[in-house]
Structure 1
């Protein structure tokens, strides 16, 4: 719920666009937060853009790990 509160606060402070970013297992949470905001708190908010991709992360062992990522741009 704190993610929802953070986004709603950004809109209340006058932001026209809020970017919700997530990687890996948190992607589903980003989508849930977006839909929760659109359906319950800021009903005039619209998804302007969705970018998906892969981030390469270096592990402690020196290997590279591919992690999925998402950025959802909400506008009001």
Structure 2
């Protein structure tokens, strides 16, 4: 499987856009979809995972959740820590 295959990056668009992206991935045959976000989009990523699981695809399970921190450099040269999350949803075979 390719490194960035079946990954949904959550940003500032409406939640349902990302939900639709996840459902589309599953409907195209993916057994696993990774939802990635950082910073303020983390809560939106959690919402996406829960909406997919509870409203649209109850058979999908949370396989793994990874949290971490990335160091980013600002334009002024300072380093800023940004939290990250990766939620792995799995559709049982």
User: Could you tell me the TM-score, scaled by structure 2's length?
Assistant: 0.80
Is residue 2:62 matched to residue 1:47? Answer: yes
The residue that corresponds to 1:61 in the other structure is 76
Paired residue for 2:32?
Answer: 17
Structure 1 gaps of 5+ residues are none
**Aligned position for 2:49:** 34
SS at match of 1:44: coil
Does the alignment pair 1:2 with 2:17?
A: yes
* Paired residue total: 76
Quote how far apart the aligned CAs of 1:71 are: 0.2
SS in structure 1 at match of 2:59 = coil
Higher relative strand content: 1
> Which one has a larger percent helix, Structure 1 or Structure 2?
1
Unaligned runs of 5+ in 2: 1-15
State the TM-score, normalized to the length of structure 1: 0.98
Q: Which runs of 4+ in 1 moved over 3 A?
A: none
Q: 1:59: how far off?
A: 0.7
Distance in 1, matches of 2:65 and 2:78, equals 29
